[in-house]
């Protein structure tokens, strides 16, 4: 079955760290750029970061650049995001999403995970 | 950054009605636009890409139109299962950006 499954969310104090994982199945993971997209409670979707299929290229939204680090292990079909120096405004459901095409660059997302909730609070 | 503005914020219509949602980009994005459907408790779903191409498996009552800065998503005959929030997204440049969402309800 073609799917993405996120894990690793939870409650963390401001200034703390958390690492999220996204395991892919049903497609050739290494062929596709993968993104993290988040959604604060009751709010719209916000794209966070992207990594190319090879892992050689990344891009981040300004609000997380320098605090979040995306990585992937193609041997494990897994995408990660290391989130450091977390703030209350990082509280959201975090989704991983598969790029619609295999080329590096801006794209839409043709497969989404169910999301994992990150709550930053003291 | 390219700002995406959706309208209306919400729409209430009867079963069988035609529903149109608008998305405006702050600068021209050619046809690099996608539409998504979000239902509570379900995985986000790609409906339309390249402004007007229907993703496989999506009912033909959904259609997309537009290019440049102005785009529409139309549901030709609203069904109870279409109750959801719909988002547009530009795919022309980083950072990728989404519209604020439009909630569709049954009257």
At residue B59, what are phi and psi to the nearest 5 degrees? -60, 145
Residues of B in contact with A104 (CB under 8 A): none
Please name the residue that has the structure tokens 């390219």: B2
Do A42 and B38 form a contact (C-beta atoms < 8 A)? no
**DSSP structure string for A48-106:** EEEE-TTS--EEE-TTTBTTEEEEEETTTTEEEEEE-S--GGG-EEEEEEEESSSSSSS
Express each pLDDT in B11-44 by its tens digit: 999 999 999 999 999 999 999 999 999 999 899 9
Mean pLDDT of A44-66: 97
Nearest to B91 among A59, A107, A112 (CB): A107
Please name the residue that has the structure tokens 């750029």: A33
Express each pLDDT in B30-39 by its tens digit: 999 999 999 9
A88: alpha, beta or left? (left if phi > 0; alpha if psi -120 to 50):
alpha
Q: What is the mean pLDDT of chain A?
A: 97
Express each pLDDT in B73-102 by its tens digit: 999 999 999 999 999 999 999 999 999 999
Express each pLDDT in B35-71 by its tens digit: 999 999 899 999 999 999 999 999 999 999 999 999 9
Please tell me the distance from the alpha carbon of residue A96 to that of residue A37, in angstroms, as a whole number: 6
Do B58 and B64 form a contact (C-beta atoms < 8 A)? no
Instruction: Please tell me the predicted confidence (pLDDT) of residue A102.
Output: 83
Mean pLDDT of A3-18: 98
Residues of A in contact with B96 (CB under 8 A): 35, 47, 50, 106
Mean pLDDT of A26-30: 97
């Amino acid at each position: 079955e073609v799917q993405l499954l996120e894990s690793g969310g939870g409650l963390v104090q401001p200034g703390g760290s958390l690492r999220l994982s996204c395991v892919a199945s049903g497609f050739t993971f290494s062929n596709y750029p993968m993104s993290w997209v988040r959604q604060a409670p009751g709010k719209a979707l916000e794209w966070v970061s992207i990594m190319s299929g090879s892992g050689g290229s990344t891009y981040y939204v300004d609000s997380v650049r320098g605090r979040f680090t995306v990585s992937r292990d193609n041997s494990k079909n897994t995408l990660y995001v290391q989130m450091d120096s977390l703030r209350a405004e990082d509280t959201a459901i975090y989704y991983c999403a598969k790029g619609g095409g295999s080329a590096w660059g801006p794209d839409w997302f043709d497969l989404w995970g169910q999301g994992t909730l990150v709550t930053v609070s003291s | 950054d390219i700002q995406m503005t959706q309208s209306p914020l919400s729409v209430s219509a009867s079963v069988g009605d035609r529903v149109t949602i608008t998305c405006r980009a702050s600068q021209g994005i050619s046809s690099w636009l996608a539409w998504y459907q979000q239902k509570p408790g379900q995985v986000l779903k790609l409906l339309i890409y390249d402004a007007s191409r229907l993703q496989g498996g999506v009912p033909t009552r959904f259609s997309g139109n537009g290019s440049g800065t102005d785009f529409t998503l139309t549901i030709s005959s609203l069904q109870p299962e279409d109750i959801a929030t719909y988002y547009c997204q530009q795919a022309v440049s980083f950072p990728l950006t989404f519209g604020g969402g439009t909630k569709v309800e049954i009257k």
